Amino acid sequence: MDDDLFLDTILNAAADARKVLRLRERYSQSPDHPIVPAIRETEYLKGFLLEVLP
């Protein structure tokens, strides 16, 4: 799952729950596991730090 689809899924779930989120940080694997743009599978770890706004 690419970043855009992952974040879109999270935002759709937040909308269903009637919550507004703020993206604080994006996470990926450490530099010793390089991402090769031509090989999408090399970006295998991803995460987001999201804040639920009042």
12-51 confidence digits (pLDDT tens)? 999 999 999 999 999 999 999 999 999 989 988 999 999 9
Q: What pLDDT is attached to residue 20?
A: 97
- pTM, 2 dp: 0.75
Q: What pLDDT is attached to residue 40?
A: 87
Could you give the CA distance from residue 37 to residue 32 in angstroms, rounded to a whole number?
Answer: 15
DSSP state of 15: H
CB 49 within 8 A of CB 28: no
Taking 90 as the threshold, does the pLDDT of residue 1 lie above it? no
Token digits for 37? 């743009």
Residue 10 Cα to chain centre, angstroms: 8
